[in-house]
Amino acid sequence: MNKKKLLIIIVIAILVALFFYFDLGRFFTLEELKEHRMQLVAFNAAHRVAMVAAFMALYVVQTALSLPGAAILSLAAGAIFGAVMGTVYANIAATFGATLAFLITRYILHDAVMQKFGLRLEKLNSELEARGLNYLLFLRLVPLFPFFLINLAAGLTRIPLRTFVIGTMLGIIPGGFVYCNAGASLATVTTLREVASPRVLGSFALLGLFALVPVVYSKVKGTRA
């Protein structure tokens, strides 16, 4: 491993360690967001550009380092910027952060992981190369798969970067809007479970199945041929 890769790994490890050492996760709670919402809204009204930049930077770092707090940040986006613009800002930041996590895994941690799990990933690699966008949309839409795990797992495959970015940006729109819309009415939200209700999760799962329709069709067509 060259010095640049080692330095990046050390920096990432230090940042993650600092997050947990100082217990920064205590700020990413529903209670904290409700308590400081008015101050955040006031700051946004006075310093719009600075607030958007700070929020997106925080979201990018949180996603790139696979830290907890994504749901609260999405709620905060809706509470501060409104449902529509909050979804836009959160989507761009989450996509950028996910792409960073994807690239870090692919170009820095790839060799070590592939050496251990390469044979198991071979079939997944071929499927993602052939129908990567549909599979990725399914993974993003179905809430059974944690967001950060998909970022890391995709980095171990040969899925093109462009496909990963497009699939991520499109796939997280429904879930992002649900959280941002809930954040816009933050006073009515008492728990995060209320936002991701069984009905909402079922809708996401249905969308994910629709994303797989072209994949199933091509497999059936190929089998008949």
Query: Is residue 208 within a helix (H) or strand (E), and if so which, with residue range?
Result: helix 198-211
Type of residue numbered 170: L
In the block, which residue shows the tokens 């910027």? 81
Read off the pTM. 0.86
Tally of CB atoms within 10 A around 18: 10
Six-digit token string for 51: 């607030």
Alpha carbon distance 21, 140 (integer Å): 31
Q: Which two tokens stand for residue 199?
A: 């009905």
159-199 residue pLDDT tens: 889 999 999 999 999 899 999 999 999 988 888 888 876 66
Burial of 104 (0-12, 13-18, 19+ CB in 10 A): buried
**Which of 22-26, 88-92, 93-97, 136-140 is predicted least confidently?**
136-140
Weakest mean pLDDT among 48-52, 75-79, 93-97, 217-221: 217-221
**200 exposed, middle or buried (CB, 10 Å; 0-12, 13-18, 19+)?**
middle
Mean pLDDT across the chain: 85
How large is the average pLDDT for residues 28-57? 96
Segment among 5-19, 149-163, 173-187, 209-223 with least mean pLDDT: 209-223
Residue 81's pLDDT is 97
Residues 6+ apart with CB under 8 A from 78: 86, 87, 179, 180, 181, 182, 183, 184, 186
Range 124-135 average pLDDT: 73
